[in-house]
A = this chain, B = another copy of it.
Amino acid sequence: MSASDVGDGVKRAGLLIVGSVALDSVETPVGKVERALGGAAVYSSVAASFFSPVRIVGVVGEDFPKEHLDFLGSRNIDTRGLQVVDGKTFHWSGSYEGDMNEAQTIATELNVFQDFKPELPDDYKASKFVFLANIDPSLQLQVLDQIEDAELVACDTMNFWIDNKKDELVEVLGRVDILFMNDAEARQITGEVNLTKAADKLRKMGPRYVIVKKGEHGALMYCDGNTCFAAASYPLEEIADPTGAGDSFAGGFMGYVANTGELSDGNLRKAVIYGSTMASFNCQDFSLNMLQRLTPEEVDRRYNEFKRLVFFEEF
């Protein structure tokens, strides 16, 4: 099973993804975009769609360009769960400087997300694989309440919810199998500087697997109280825009797991590498531009380059 094989293997029920759908304004040392397609659910759904059919849940306003809906639909992404309502689409604007490891938020306008109540189409409720992308944890819980018999549930979050909705977030953690979090957030929520200790505390809050994203420094997957896997990030000479890299990582990971349906240690390692692959491509252009023109063959090629990058002895 690889990105080029999608459509050949056994089709699973697909991957349900809920999260923000946004129009982002982003400035980096390389350039800028205004009200471009973005949002955690969009980045992760498009990344996941390289591996698995996706069902997206979210909300947009009347200002959301039809071409974006068409693009998602063209990618094996079921958009019946994407409500279009009166008002303006969620808007985030931010900038990056220096090593671009951290975004400076300039403005966040919740807009239509303020009154959003996710309502899952009936056939979504039986989804076997669920990814709660970054969004208000209260909404993540509302989605979880509608899910009937999932095999695997994962979530992501951000510092804002740790600061402002910690109780709800802790409740989410108690109900998921996999947690994606960046290193700063893992330290923030646990109060542990040491990442191994932080991951241990996080696993005690619920998730069997904790995957810590470290940006240019790769990712660590923790299971059974020990690090089970350390992945490098793919080295890029030029980063255009890191927005959505973490979402693309989680989307690639979950898409691969959803389509293979296998939770073995070896398969989860491959999923991490596919996640790193999607994250690295995402950074090479603004908004969804790179994922939009990327081919499954390029995905598989970069996955294989990871072997050359990290293997010693056998490779």
Residue from B193, B218, B235, B266 in contact with A195 in the complex, judged by beta carbons closer than 8 Å:
B235
Flag whether A224 is at the interface (Cβ < 8 A): no
Q: How many copies does the complex hold?
A: 2
Flag whether A1 is at the interface (Cβ < 8 A): no
Flag whether A313 is at the interface (Cβ < 8 A): yes
CA distance A269 to B307 in the complex (A): 13
- A217-B217, A235-B220 as given contacts; A229 in contact with B312, CB under 8 Å: yes
Cβ–Cβ contact A98 & B193, under 8 A: yes
**Chain B residues in 8 Å Cβ range of A310:** 229-232, 310-311
- A217-B218, A270-B312 as given contacts; A194 in contact with B229, CB under 8 Å: no
Flag whether A190 is at the interface (Cβ < 8 A): no
Residue from B195, B217, B236, B273 in contact with A196 in the complex, judged by beta carbons closer than 8 Å:
B236
**Chain B residues in 8 Å Cβ range of A227:** 235, 309
CA distance A54 to B252 in the complex (A): 48
Flag whether A175 is at the interface (Cβ < 8 A): no
Question: Would you give the 0/1 interface string for A257-297, flagging 1 where the beta carbon is closer than 8 Å to chain B?
Answer: 00000000010011011000000000000000000000000
Cβ–Cβ contact A232 & B230, under 8 A: yes
Cβ–Cβ contact B230 & A235, under 8 A: yes
Flag whether A152 is at the interface (Cβ < 8 A): no
Main secondary structure of the interface of A (DSSP, over half): mixed
Interface centre among A220, A231, A232, A273 (most CB of B within 10 A): A232
Cβ–Cβ contact B266 & A312, under 8 A: yes
**Chain B residues in 8 Å Cβ range of A194:** 236-239
CA distance A273 to B313 in the complex (A): 10
**Chain B residues in 8 Å Cβ range of A197:** 237
CA distance A269 to B308 in the complex (A): 11
Cβ–Cβ contact B196 & A312, under 8 A: no
- In the complex, the chain B residue whose C-beta lies closest to that of A311 is B311
Question: Would you give the 0/1 interface string for A297-315, flagging 1 where the beta carbon is closer than 8 Å to chain B?
Answer: 0000000001111111111
**Chain B residues in 8 Å Cβ range of A311:** 269, 310-311, 314
Question: Would you give the 0/1 interface string for A81-107, flagging 1 where the beta carbon is closer than 8 Å to chain B?
Answer: 000000000000000001100000000
Cβ–Cβ contact A309 & B230, under 8 A: yes
Known: A194-B238, A232-B310, A266-B313. 15 other contacts (CB 8 A): A195-B216, A197-B237, A218-B232, A227-B235, A229-B309, A229-B312, A230-B232, A231-B232, A269-B312, A269-B313, A270-B312, A272-B312, A311-B311, A314-B314, A314-B315
